[in-house]
Chains A and B, each alone.
Chain A
Amino acid sequence: MRPTSVHNQEAFSSQSETLLQIQNLKTYYPVKGGFFKRTVGHVKAVDNISFEIKKGETLGLVGESGCGKSTAGRTILRLLKPTEGSILFDGKDITKISGKHLREIRQDMQMVFQDPYASLNPMQMVGDIIAEPIYNFHKKSKSELKNEVMDLLEKVGLPPDAYYKYAHEFSGGQRQRIGIARALALRPKLIIADEPVSALDVSVQSQVLNLLKDLQEEFDLTFLFIAHDLSVVKHMSDRIGVMYLGNMVEISDKNSLYAEPLHPYTQALISAIPNPDPRHKKERIILTGDVPSPINPPAGCPFHPRCPMAMEECSKSKPTLKEVKPSHRVACHLY
């Protein structure tokens, strides 16, 4: 069952178990340079983040491009190798596993990608695209496989004849449905959706969001929902983490986050969303400048060069996540 109200949710999360626990996760990409292509520095894409996701919950990750949210998602799936830290999935430490064990665990975690045009093989029939994960892990007869795929097609709202078609014959929204069917094929416990709707029109976007919510209820799924659109994340998530330059700056349940954002970056991010209501023109906090390079992140708080409330302390020491209100943690020296 999915929690509906905050009240419910608190009661729910205290009983339920944690599906995913991330501790001090770091993912650095080496920067090669010079004559011998030595490593001359690191892009600190994910720089020490910790969070957990409960079973049946949706955690939203937001932030601007380059803040490390996709890298975080990919590291959790172990598509990338974490530099430091640990990933506990369903009670097992999957930080360092490889080979057979990693393959085993991948059944339980699947990904829905951003670009529905690039993430489907154009040479493969849709039926084969969806059947491939099942075929990979289970010995099944052809007819069993086909039945299962047909079932999945129906679940994601595609007609049965989609089985024999190719990806290019579908619109963006339909392709995303194919991607979702493929992710669902192995009945995973966790689905990481990396910007699943940002390539789609609003009218189609809402179809896909509704579908994801329905499937979550039906299959008891846990989502890590990565997006840059705060209103979409709010619609989908139970809890939300805000990332900036590889760091988690605030994490909270969604109502608390939107009602009272604590971190100056979250405040600016929320105020920057254009409000689809011409009568409510709000005061904007306009940030100056751009996100700094993650190769040379600023010392102290990563946000301090753009922060309207920066103090002397902010350039010296890096704030850590503190619980300021119940289930609302923020990394900022103001608190």
Chain B
Amino acid sequence: MSANKSSLKEAPMLEVKNLETAFDIDGTFYNAVDNVSFKVKPRQIVGVVGESGCGKSVMSLSVMQLLPKGIGKIKAGEIVFDGINLEKMTEAQINKIRGKDISMIFQEPMTSLNPVFTIGYQLEEVLFNHMKISKKEARQKSIALLKSVGISRPEKIVDEYPHQLSGGMRQRVMIAIAIACQPKLLIADEPTTALDVTVQAQILELLKSIQEVNDMSVILITHDLGVVAEMCDEVIVMYAGKIVERTDVETLFYNPKHPYTTLLLGAVPKMEQEEERLSSIQGIVPSLTNMLKVGCRFANRCPKAMPECLTTTPILAETDYGHEVACLLYETSKPREGVR
């Protein structure tokens, strides 16, 4: 839907080029995100899926420049947001952008709000940081924001504390804080995972309508393929720190190419069909310290693995128009002489 709105020539809102983010484990840096490149166009919702531990959240924290200091660092690559290089910025510069032009919603609405401040205080804090605004205006704006995220009695709720609200309400407050300065890019990291289905439906509906009204780009990180199908224009599938497939949402569900994507789709119980057994993926995501240096990282769990999968690293390359896959089953992923 919104993919059609953004023309092909439009500059991307976010471009991540060859990003490598590493974490320090006992003195050695291991890449949690390894050579990841993608673009997010204006007004596009891009989904990022994969099992836990595959680097989805680390990737988004890298974009936000929120990696834990001293433990995680961006080793290589570029993050270009709206024409500006984020990874070269100082803390003061990034503070002006973060929360204003890029903001983030976290998974746990329980732990990401400060329990000792009122909802109003936490909303106004963002407004004061990024806007020249009087106290009275800030309060009015907070009430208006709470109203826009579907909170009834916003005049009361501004003076309440997080513990007085339900999980769904807290997530609405988080969304209100995130959109307070009308960001151009919103990163939502598992925004509905901690919520019940009926509340999840409310929050997804809300996110979609805000995205349309504010003309935002959204990166939606989730492990729920149902959410992806409902919300996203494009999907990135990650495995063990690498992108294994990237395409539009319809192609992903109807013509997945990477064996990992196929297995992931098959593992979800379907409402419409009756099936005795679900497809499952043997084994687990390798931990950071024992990922294969060469070859495909999915090879040891892949039902279609060939001997060369252990020796050759597949390249993420376009097989069809707009459909990128990193798997040696496809000619395009095989490394050519002289090309990295």
Contact = CB atoms under 8 A, between A and B. Distances in A.
Interface of A: 4, 64-65, 171, 173, 201-207, 209-210, 213, 228-232, 234-235, 258, 268-279, 281, 284, 286-288, 290-291
Interface of B is mostly: helix
A206 B196 contact: no
B230 interface: yes
Nearest to B229: A278
A144 to B, nearest CB: 32
A154 to B, nearest CB: 16
Contacts of B199: 64, 290
Nearest to A210: B277
A228 B198 CA distance: 11
A278 B275 CA distance: 20
Nearest to A233: B269
A231 B201 contact: no
Interface stretch (B82-90, B220-228, B289-297): B220-228
Given A228-B196, A258-B271, A275 B201 contact: no
A276 B223 contact: no
B11 interface: no
Given A203-B263, A276-B229, A277-B229, A64 B196 contact: yes
Given A290-B168, A290-B199, A204 B280 contact: yes
A274 B271 contact: no
Contact of B269 (A209, A271, A290): A209
Contacts of A229: 197
A255 to B, nearest CB: 8
A277 to B, nearest CB: 6
Given A272-B200, A279-B254, 9 more contacts: A203-B264, A204-B284, A230-B197, A258-B271, A269-B197, A272-B197, A272-B198, A276-B265, A290-B169
Contact of B226 (A234, A258, A274, A279): A274
B253 interface: yes
A65 B269 contact: no
Q: Chain B interface residue count: which class?
A: 35 or more
B197 A275 contact: no
A4 B165 CA distance: 45
Chain B CB within 10 Å — which of A173, A202, A275, A284 has the most?
A: A202
Contacts of B196: 64-65, 228, 291
A272 B266 CA distance: 21
Interface in B118-157: none
Contact of A276 (B51, B197, B205, B253): B253
Most interface-central of B230, B264, B276 (chain A CB within 10 A): B230
Nearest to B199: A290
Contacts of B229: 274-278
Contacts of B169: 290
B201 A286 contact: yes
Contacts of B268: 202, 206, 231, 276
A201 B278 CA distance: 14
B160 to A, nearest CB: 14
Which residue among B169, B205, B226, B250 has the maximum number of chain A CB atoms within 10 Å of its CB? B226
15 contacts: A201-B223, A204-B51, A206-B278, A209-B269, A213-B277, A228-B196, A231-B268, A232-B269, A235-B278, A272-B201, A275-B230, A276-B253, A276-B268, A286-B198, A287-B201
Interface in B257-302: 263-271, 275-282, 284
Pick the 8 closest A-B CB pairs, nearest first: A274-B226, A206-B278, A272-B201, A235-B269, A64-B196, A206-B280, A203-B281, A206-B267
Contacts of B253: 276-279
Nearest to A281: B230
Contacts of A171: 284
Contact of A274 (B51, B227, B264, B280): B227
A310 to B, nearest CB: 16
Nearest to A171: B284
B250 A284 contact: no
B198 A269 contact: yes
Contacts of B281: 203-204, 207
A278 B197 contact: no
B198 A234 contact: no
Contacts of A173: 284
Contacts of A291: 166, 196
A291 to B, nearest CB: 8
Contacts of A287: 198, 201-202
B40 interface: no
B271 A230 contact: yes
